[in-house]
Amino acid sequence: MTLTSLPPQLSRILISEEAIQQRVRELAQQISNDYASVERLYLVGVLRGAFIFLADLARHLTIPHVVDFIAVSSYGKSAASGAVRLLMDLREPVENQHVLLVEDIVDSGQTLDYLLHTLHGRRPASLHTCVLVQKKRDSLPVPVNYLGFEIPDVWVVGYGLDYADTFRTLPYIAELKPEVYQ
Ligand code: IMP
Ligand code: MG
């Protein structure tokens, strides 16, 4: 990937396609080991950002699993916080299921916190989180059990992550130029 083919709104590639694919394989291996004794793993992808990560992760798992999705409202383009709302619920009840929440990115942790509380109330057998990228913070806002990468506090796009619904299908994760979103 040469710099000349980077869209003009992006300043640099933070995580290459190769690094993502390698890390996703490692995470899948770790998850497959950790859940080796469960009957099946109930994967919950958070729409829309996690759809690509979940698709790749799930295909590297070597344990029985099912895939489901949940959708929440995003609070906008920048860091302004707002209440998280459930837009689309799971297809099945998750009582007694081993649930793994799969999320693209954790910033303030509000979204994951909301989802953890919501799903915890449904009495799953276990509930853990797998996040591809987390923005570096002094304190960890929510428990992340499987983490792909830690990144600086910048707006990133690609591999499912968007800015105003664009750049989701780039194979790498890149930094958006600050002048585009500020
Ligand atoms: P949080 O609730 O502050 O942790 O934010 C999580 C949600 O905000 C994610 O699920 C994303 O949808 C969105 N988000 C936060 N930072 C970024 C980013 O840098 N790029 C794209 N989406 C982001
Ligand atoms: Mg998201």
Question: Cβ distance 104 to 46 under 8 Å?
Answer: yes
Residues classed as catalytic = 107
pLDDT of 3 higher than 60:
no
**Cα dihedral 84, 90, 92, 98 in deg (nearest 10):** -70
Q: Which ligand is nearest to the CA of 51?
A: 2
Q: What is the pLDDT of residue 79?
A: 47
Burial of 87 (0-12, 13-18, 19+ CB in 10 A): exposed
* Residue 146 near ligand 1, beta carbon < 6 Å: no
* Residue 175 near ligand 1, beta carbon < 6 Å: no
Both tokens of 165, joined, read 């619904």
**39: CA distance to ligand 2 center in Å?**
28
Q: What is the pLDDT of residue 75?
A: 63
Residue 76's CB: how many other CB atoms inside 10 A? 10
Q: Compute the distance between CA of residue 86 and CA of residue 122 in angstroms, rounded to an integer.
A: 15
* Residue 148 near ligand 1, beta carbon < 6 Å: no
pLDDT of 97 higher than 90:
yes
* Residue 32 near ligand 1, beta carbon < 6 Å: no
What pLDDT digit, counting tens, does each position of 138-182 carry?
Answer: 776 789 999 999 999 999 999 999 999 999 999 999 999 999 988
Question: What atom in ligand 1 is closest to the CA of residue 107?
Answer: 4
What pLDDT digit, counting tens, does each position of 40-64 carry?
Answer: 999 999 999 999 999 999 999 999 9
Q: How much of the chain, in percent, has pLDDT values that exceed 70?
A: 92
Q: What is the pLDDT of residue 77?
A: 47
Class at the top of the CATH hierarchy for domain 17-154: alpha beta
Q: Compute the distance between CA of residue 32 and CA of residue 92 in angstroms, rounded to an integer.
A: 22
Question: Cβ distance 105 to 156 under 8 Å?
Answer: yes
Q: What is the pLDDT of residue 80?
A: 52
Both tokens of 37, joined, read 């004794």
Question: Cβ distance 70 to 47 under 8 Å?
Answer: yes
The helix-helix angle for 51-60 and 17-34 (nearest 10°) equals: 60
Confidence of residue 30 (pLDDT cuts 50, 70, 90): very high
